[in-house]
Structure 1
């Protein structure tokens, strides 16, 4: 029995050693990456419906979710009312006063002049009586004040009549136009918020995570969907300082899928230094501790539309 156990253990050890030899870790090992996309709303609201699931592929323009924003309708009504009011003010500034308004000002001016004549007659009578010491100075000052007030009222009405007859000043027209522009801008802002009720896919993409569920509150700027562009595949390799001089930006490479044996024409887009050990693509250190580590960003130059790629899958640089 012990002999059988020893034989089985030896066979298992050989298999493990053989597997380790075949799975040699090298610095030419990299990972498949995609450009990521995070979708959020500019305004807050409650999630009414979510039309996709995690892992689903969507096309550009597909509706991903509907956000209920009840305040938008009320703000739209306010904006429409402001536009109507501002347009009326602008029309009034351009067209001037109506015949009815001119007639009203004329009647007010006639009434004011009549009051002024009465105040003048009262002032003359009181002035004679004051000279004969029949009234006190306070009584005379009161009549004099009423005359001044009547004269001021007539002057104000006459100036108003002249202004209406000449039409609105250019400053009044510009002010009315500014109010209309502000109202139209408020409506455009509300319309933009209304369109935010629907979250639309900006590109062909794969939905990786959905942060909230139906009925939950979505705050402005919070990413509801996270995913990546299917057409934005690239490869990421980490290279130690001792081997980085073998590579340069723009250099052509052949990237190999070790499982399907597919070869992909590619080139180095950028070389960046990595500051942290956690940024490397391999779980095993492939360098001396005193070496700097660099990242190769490699992009395909051949057509890869018909190839299948999975995020963080392993790829190799063909030697």
Structure 2
């Protein structure tokens, strides 16, 4: 019995030594299928009224994806229209100058002040002569002189006002009024542009993967409402340790094998860059030393349009 136990222990020891001497099989370099990602977001905040597309649908540039309700922008348009009309009227009034009625009023005012001035001048001349003959007190003379000076000042002011109206509005006032009109028109244009943004339009072709919100929900400005992939932008991403990177060169041609359909694809390496984080690797079971640097290899297939609907994030083996 003891001899049998010894034999069993000897066999176990032998198998253990054989296994320890065997080198682990070298794993293939695995990567992922990628496509260029694109998202569409509203420029204004609004509630979703309609969604015209579905997940999985391919849309073309210029297609309408959704419609938003933006009542605040409609109110701003009404305000901007009122401000624009008022500013235009101010600018036109500045260019036209005084009306005919205003000119007549100023002429009538000037005529009345002219009569008052002539009367005050005659009264002052009489008072001056009487004052020279000592027939008038200094107090009365000063009163007559003050009335004469006051009438003259009022007449001068009326003449200047009439001359200003007849000459026309100053160009500075005209430019100021036109500037305010342009500012109001700019605000109206801005409001109209914001109102047009209630429609979310596709700016390029896209395979819609995710629609983040549903009809009736509030979409905020800048929120990624639609996300998906740009067609015919397939590329492959591999992570290679420092010990194996010498086998690959930028611009070199490589062969790849798609795991799920066993399709072989030819491609070209377009970039090799070092990764800063261990979490960025694509290999599921890395078999290299932790101190090794890790590099990302980006491969572009030779014929993208012949790949068909290759699944994104599917595993690919780099040969």
Confirm or deny a common fold (TM above 0.5).
yes
CA deviation map 1:25-62 (0-9, x unaligned): 422x2111112122222221112222223333222222
* Counterpart position of 1:167: 168
- Structure 1 residues 86 and 301, CA, compared in 2 at 3 Å: closer, same or farther? farther
Contact in 2 for aligned 1:26/1:286 (Cα 8 Å) = no
Rounded Cα–Cα distance in structure 1 between residues aligned with 2:310 and 2:284: 21
Show the counterpart of 2:89.
Answer: 88
**1:268 aligns to what SS in structure 2?**
strand
State the shift of 1:121 in Å: 7.3
Cα distance between partner residues in 1 of 2:281 and 2:171: 68
How many residues of Structure 1 are paired with residues of Structure 2 in the alignment? 291
CA distance in 2, matches of 1:251, 1:149: 101
Long gaps (5+) in structure 1: 1-22
How far apart in 1 are the matches of 2:155 and 2:300? 85
Q: For 2:33, what is the secondary structure of its paired residue?
A: strand
Q: Which runs of 5+ in 2 are unaligned?
A: 1-24
Partner of 1:7: none
Q: Structure 1 residues 165 and 238, CA, compared in 2 at 3 Å: closer, same or farther?
A: same
**Within the alignment, does 1:187 sit opposite 2:188 as a pair?**
yes
- Rounded to whole Å, the distance in 2 between the matches of 1:122 and 1:181 is 56
Question: How many angstroms does 1:258 deviate by?
Answer: 3.5
Instruction: Report the TM-score when normalising by structure 2.
Output: 0.76
Whether 2:108 is the aligned partner of 1:103: answer no
Q: Where does residue 73 of structure 1 map in the other structure?
A: 74
CA distance in 2, matches of 1:212, 1:72: 21
Partner of 1:308: 309
CA contact 1:231–1:305 (8 Å) conserved in 2: no
Please give the alpha-carbon distance, in whole angstroms, between the structure 1 residues aligned to 2:89 and 2:245. Answer: 72
Which one is further off, 94-103 or 39-48?
94-103
CA RMSD of aligned residues (A): 3.3
Partner of 1:226: 227
Pairing of 1:1-319 with structure 2 (within 5 A): 25-27=27-29, 29-114=30-115, 132=137, 144=146, 153-304=154-305, 307-317=308-318, 319=319
User: How far apart, in 2, do the equivalents of 1:157 and 1:244 lie?
Assistant: 94
- Residue 63 of structure 1 and its aligned partner are, at CA, apart by 1.4
Q: Is the partner of 1:304 in helix, strand or coil? A: helix
What is the TM-score when the length of structure 1 is the normalising length? 0.76
Name which of structure 1's ranges 111-120 and 72-81 shifts more when overlaid on structure 2.
Answer: 111-120
